[in-house]
Amino acid sequence: MSQRLVAVVDYGMGNLRSVSKAAEHAADTNTKIIVTSHPNEIEEADAIIFPGQGAAKACMKALLDTGMIHPIQKAAKEKPFLGICMGLQVLMSHSDENDGVDCLDVIKGNVKHFDLDANPELKVPHMGWNQIHQTNEHPLWHNIPQDSRFYFVHSYYVQPENTDYVAGLTTHGETFASALSTKNLFAIQAHPEKSAEHGIQLFKNFLQWNGQ
Amino acid sequence: MSLAKRIIPCLDVDDGRVVKGVQFVDIRDAGDPVEIAKRYDEQGADEITFLDITATAHERDTMVHVVEEVASQVFIPLTVGGGIRSIEDIRTMLNAGADKVAINSAAIFNPGFVKDACDAFGSQCIVVAIDAKKVSQEGEPNKWEIFTHGGRKETGIDAVEWAQKMQELGAGELLVTSMDRDGTKIGFDIELTRTICDSVKIPVIASGGVGELSHLSQGITEGHAEAVLAASIFHFGQFTIKEAKQAMQADGIEVRL
């Protein structure tokens, strides 16, 4: 069996080293992790890890500047695809951040800020270890106990139009979708690369997943 | 179910070794940062903070190697503070594997630096460290001011107003250290912690003075902090992180166990 190629997408807006180190830690000898900013390597890769940090507008601009928009939209429909944090949010149609930003529109829905009017006591960013309640039996949840804690740091969250895509729920003042899954795509608001053993398990599960 | 309160062990690093001074004077060597970080990760630390206490140019290179080494073996959030003065310093630490940087005196010399840093890297990775000392006398309303140089140099800046200003400039989190309590082991300055926590929306880490496990819970329940930071009670094996979390849980605090 030939080596499986997994590409961590570099568009200048991610904690790439943390993500690639965690993926390498989880990988077996048959898996090669590369960090790339070349559309043709995204095309060639067997699976894609799409991290992201920072603001939505800056992320979309970085994707545009690196010629990554079309390759990411294509890969997100075709092969095993793992979105992390901002790599989840920019998959949506639109984000309210930075006075409104059109995003990749891979999943229909909006990205909105935690409601501080409804929850005046809430601390934002939502920063720290919170539970994810798994709402489906996805292969990426394999060997991760129900309601395990993952590390989060974000001020906005996703609202998919189709709630069938919700794979996990988390509560911080309000209950929000902390993981989404479509046929070949899984995306998580938390940082598995910073979530100790459960995060490493999620990478292991992703690296073994055929996208079905 | 909700967000867990965090315990953050702090490693003061000098020339690649972990040290902890009592009020920054009596420094003892407590070992290798990579080994200590791994031990804390195994014990269930929620994050680890490295404080580069000398922060000379040579030190900076040593610190980068420490962070690189830790980040390839420990998969929890890492914060680096001490001598973070430029956008380039931040980029270097983030590239080495740090998730956040703590900015202290550079924010005082140039508050715009905090905004520039947040614009460049996002609020999520910018922690502002606030070293505060009580300046009000007995019987007067509480007042704390910012001090630099390990608590020796006053700035005249009101600590609470400063905390709010840092939030406005985009800081994602505040690390509030009582310079009156640091190294004393008599517990946090609860009034300082609570006054700042209640006046900002962003999470606050309480620091300075932890000597026993009950102090950690007090920082959360009475101080209203989102996280508590301690050094010496963990470094010398007095308590494990797990014991600290069990004690907090027994006090009714939600923790990651």
What percentage of chain A carries pLDDT values higher than 70? 98
Q: What is the pLDDT of residue B218?
A: 98
Second CATH level (architecture) for the domain A4-207: 3-Layer(aba) Sandwich (3.40)
Residue given tokens 């940087």 in the structure block: B101
Q: What is the pLDDT of residue B189?
A: 98
Query: What is the ipTM metric for this complex?
Result: 0.91
What does the pLDDT look like over A30-63, one tens digit per residue? 999 999 989 999 999 999 999 988 788 888 998 9
Closest to A13 in 3D by CA, of A48, A57, A43: A57
For residue B69, give the chain A residue with the closest CA: A21
For residue B124, give the chain A residue with the closest CA: A153
pLDDT at A101 over 90: yes
Domains of chain B listed by start with CATH number: 6-250 (3.20.20.70)
Q: Clarify whether B26 is annotated catalytic.
A: no
Whole-number Å distance between alpha carbons of A95 and B170 = 19
Residue A145 contacts B, CB cutoff 8 Å: no
* Structural domain spans, chain A: 4-207
pLDDT at B247 over 90: yes
Residue given tokens 């505060």 in the structure block: B132
Catalytic residue among A59, A85, A97, A154: A85
Confidence of residue B122 (pLDDT cuts 50, 70, 90): confident
Residue A53 contacts B, CB cutoff 8 Å: yes
Q: What is the pLDDT of residue B26?
A: 39
What does the pLDDT look like over B63-111, one tens digit per residue? 999 999 999 999 999 999 998 999 999 989 988 889 999 999 999 999 9
Whether the CB-CB separation of B228 and B216 falls below 8 Å is answered with yes
* CB-based contacts of A205, cutoff 8 Å, min separation 6: A139, A140, A141, A142, A143, A144
pLDDT at B21 over 60: no
Q: What is the pLDDT of residue B61?
A: 82
Q: Clarify whether A59 is annotated catalytic.
A: no
What does the pLDDT look like over B208-226, one tens digit per residue? 999 999 999 999 999 999 9
Catalytic residue among A97, A154, A193, A198: A193
Burial (Cβ within 10 Å: 0-12, 13-18, ≥19) of residue B112:
exposed
Cβ–Cβ below 8 Å for B99 and A125: no
- Which one has a higher pLDDT value, B21 or A179? A179
